Amino acid sequence: MREHPEYTCVFVRGQETVCDVRRGVKPLLALYDSGKTLAGFSAADKVVGRGAALLYALLGLENLYAGVLSESAEEVLRAHDIYYEYGTRVRNVVNRKGDGICPMEKATSGIFDPLEGLKALRAALSALEERS
């Protein structure tokens, strides 16, 4: 499975396909909040940092292709036995301005527990929304 340029992430299980155009961890949080799992799904995602990797583990994903994968995301995927492939591996995912580390990557630094990661991601998103 490879990435699809018109979408940020695509999830496939048999004939079932779910696509999203939102950036960051928002599509994964929306799936989690809807009560869905990704058990039995394969996913293609443009950029996967540690935060997204923790959410993929929480959602029960089995296979992942990442266009860009951070080293810390790779640690999480290995720890949770999620098969993965990637186009490019980077030390860290950078923020949208390109002048630092992605806030979701920063917020989940050192976290391996998906529920703890979920809490850290929600707190980081809330803080970002308060600033804007």
Q: What is the pLDDT of residue 111?
A: 97
Query: Is residue 78, in this structure, part of any structural domain at all?
Result: yes
Joined together, the tokens standing for residue 64 give 């992942």
The answer on pLDDT for 5 being more than 90 is no
Residue 9 DSSP code = E
Query: Is residue 33, in this structure, part of any structural domain at all?
Result: yes
* CA–CA dist 79, 132 (Å, integer): 35
Query: Is residue 3, in this structure, part of any structural domain at all?
Result: no
Its pTM stands at 0.93
The answer on pLDDT for 107 being more than 70 is yes
Report the mean per-residue pLDDT for the chain.
Answer: 93
Mean predicted confidence (pLDDT) in 33-40:
94
Which pairs with CB-CB distance under 8 Å and at least 24 residues apart come from 124-131?
Answer: 124/51, 125/25, 125/29, 128/103
pLDDT band for position 113 (cuts 50, 70, 90) = very high
Q: Which of 95-99, 109-113, 116-120 has the lowest mean pLDDT?
A: 95-99
**Domain enclosing residue 88, as ranges:** 9-131
R_g of the chain computed on alpha carbons: 14
For the segment 60-101, what is each residue's pLDDT rounded down to a tens digit?
999 999 999 999 999 999 999 999 999 999 999 999 899 999
Print the SS3 string covering 33-85: HCCCCCCCCEEEEEEECHHHHHHHHHHCCCEEEEEEEEHHHHHHHHHCCCEEE
Structurally, the chain folds into a number of domains equal to 1
Query: Is residue 25, in this structure, part of any structural domain at all?
Result: yes
pLDDT band for position 23 (cuts 50, 70, 90) = confident
Query: Is residue 70, in this structure, part of any structural domain at all?
Result: yes
Q: What is the pLDDT of residue 87?
A: 97
The CATH number given to whatever domain includes residue 122 is 3.40.140.30
Query: Is residue 102, in this structure, part of any structural domain at all?
Result: yes
